[in-house]
Amino acid sequence: MIKLLAKSIREYKKASLATPLLVSLEVVMECIIPFVIAELVNQIKAGCELDVIVRYGLVLTVMAGLALAFGAWAGSTCATASCGLAKNLRKDMFYSIQGFAFENIDKFSTSSLVTRLTTDVTNVQMAYMMIIRLAIRCPLMLIFAFVMAFVMGGNMAVIFLFVAPLLAFCLILIIHKVTPMFKRVFKKYDQLNNSVQENVKGMRVVKSFVREDFEKEKFNTASEDVRRDFTKAERILAFNGPIMQFCLYSVMVFVLSFGSYTIITSRGLDLDVGQFSALLTYSFMILNSLMMFSMVFVMITMSAESAKRIVEVLSEKSSLTDPEHPVYEVKDGSIDFDDVSFKYSKKAKKFALADINLHIRSGETIGIIGGTGSSKSTLIQLISRLYDTTEGTVRVGGLDVRTYDLEALRNQVAVVLQKNILFSGTIKDNLRWGNLNATDEEMEHACKLACADEFIERFPDKYDTYIEQGGTNVSGGQKQRLCIARALLKKPKILILDDSTSAVDTKTDALIRKAMREYIPETTKIIIAQRISSVQDADRIIVMDNGRIHAIGTHEELLKNNEIYREVYTSQNKAGDSDENESR
């Protein structure tokens, strides 16, 4: 885990190495200062001249200045290193997620990935900052101060040998109790983020069904779970303070009592005032180091679970990889399914697709009809290799899809989904997702084919109209037509419309299909639809049922020979006749 996280340090190695070095120099300066002050006190007690005091004062000023400079420099390099690590971790995780296959994405929820990219990375950043600074400073300060306390205080420093183990034992006990709580709380963070994400994304549905109170209660429950676990952890961590104060005051009482007694009884022979003042200072240093060390342990304990969650994403390998010698050119739009069966998980008992044998010629228009859950979308996802087959082979352009370079294959297979996504930016920005170098004329032509130009021209800014996040300022039908235009700009060899005209009227649907027949005849077109009217003029229509191909034929052939197709056609036409009669 540490090795994998360390790879994200990269260009911030110098800052990461400089910080411990600067902290070490700072500690050395700070630990020598009390020793010099003790010498100064003894010199004053002995009745030294002013020039001696000035000389010691100058030395102390220089040492304090150096300690301050080293500390400030260490703070700067520490901030650079920790923030840089956080930036690289987010970048590496995001890049890793972009390379995931659908199978990999299915392992993580969206809310969990957001938590890992934000909260978990922040926790690791804080822990790293403490590790390269405080985790170096505290042990060094502890060792130096311990040695100097023995040098200055002799046997009296033995008190630290009792206090330090007691404090360490208490801190370890606290951390042992707190660790499982932090493991639980991050899972509940995912649930909390999921509640927020669902609510914001489905705000219109929430309001239309008047479910605000239900959503508030769901959020409160998730929030209360996080609060409860954090409260338990914080209550235990709160013992840090009292334990530290107890140890601090115990040492102070001991040092002040026995130190004063030793000075008085020995008349300064066994312990003088200078040594006594230095011993007090070193006592504070030791106990302060232990206190900071406890904070480091707490932060590391909390971030350990975050680090594991980050590593889960970084170490996840895409189940889809390019072959050693990939093919970069797709010959044509022909598609072949040879004895294909597929299931989403190796553990799944049932195949989502079974015994699929299908051969589509390049340039052919294929319609796919089937009930909900008949695996229509699953079938087309194998073409662009969003998933790999469990059994059998899918070939595009005569070659197994697994022999192609993934990017090259997907550039030749354009898919327009039912749930279309538009990104914040202008209409041109969204269209150029299909072709980054598309000219204005090419975009306008694609929009005419998709029947999108008619509403774009009505916008005041036309193609420079700004699309809000998620396309909230355009209708469902407008969104679908823009996405079809975006796909056409790819000039693909295979165009798949996955129920992507469900939000447009039948007249516009017919115009889009007519335009595609006339202007892209060589492109293989696969149209998944619920409406028979959307596929009835296709070269062939596939009827899917329960993950299998139930029948293949033209509209007329299926009406005559297939019961499922005939039943859907009849029910839709009856519904249409009924609506027409009602309107009359």
Give the whole-number percent of the chain exceeding pLDDT 70. Answer: 92
Of the two residues 296 and 381, the one the predictor is more confident about is 381
For the segment 454-498, what is each residue's pLDDT rounded down to a tens digit?
888 888 888 888 888 767 777 878 888 888 888 888 888 898 888
pLDDT the model gives residue 432: 87
Sheet containing 335-342: order of strands = 353-360, 335-342, 391-396, 399-400
Number of H helices and E strands in the chain, helices first, is: 21, 12
pLDDT tens track for 252-284: 777 777 777 777 776 666 666 667 777 777 777
What average pLDDT does range 543-560 have in this prediction? 88
Contact 90, 49 (CB under 8 A): no
Contacts of 156 (CB under 8 A, 6+ apart): 254, 255, 258, 259, 262, 271, 279
Strand runs labelled E in 142-281: none
C-alpha dihedral sign at 347, 348, 349, 354: negative
Comparing 161 with 95, which gets the higher pLDDT? 95
Rounded-to-integer distance, Cα 483 and Cα 499, Å:
12
State the SS3 of 480-498.
HHHHHHHHHCCCCCEEEEE
Q: What angle do CA 525, 526, 528 make, to 5 degrees?
A: 145
SS3 call for 10:
helix
What rounded mean pLDDT belongs to the chain?
81
Helix (H) or strand (E) holding 545: strand 540-545
Count of beta carbons in the 10 Å neighbourhood of residue 576 = 13
CB atoms within 10 A of CB 106: 12
- Name 536's Cβ contacts closer than 8 Å, sequence gap at least 6: 367, 555
pTM of the predicted protein model: 0.67
Q: What are phi and psi of 554, to 5 degrees?
A: -80, 175
Task: Give the per-residue pLDDT at 581.
Answer: 45
* DSSP-assigned states of every residue in 54-106: HHHHHHHHHHHHHHHHHHHHHHHHHHHHHHHHHHHHHHHHHHHHHT--HHHHT
What average pLDDT does the segment 512-523 reach? 81
Question: Nearest-CA neighbor of 452 among 437, 434, 205?
Answer: 434
SS3 365: strand
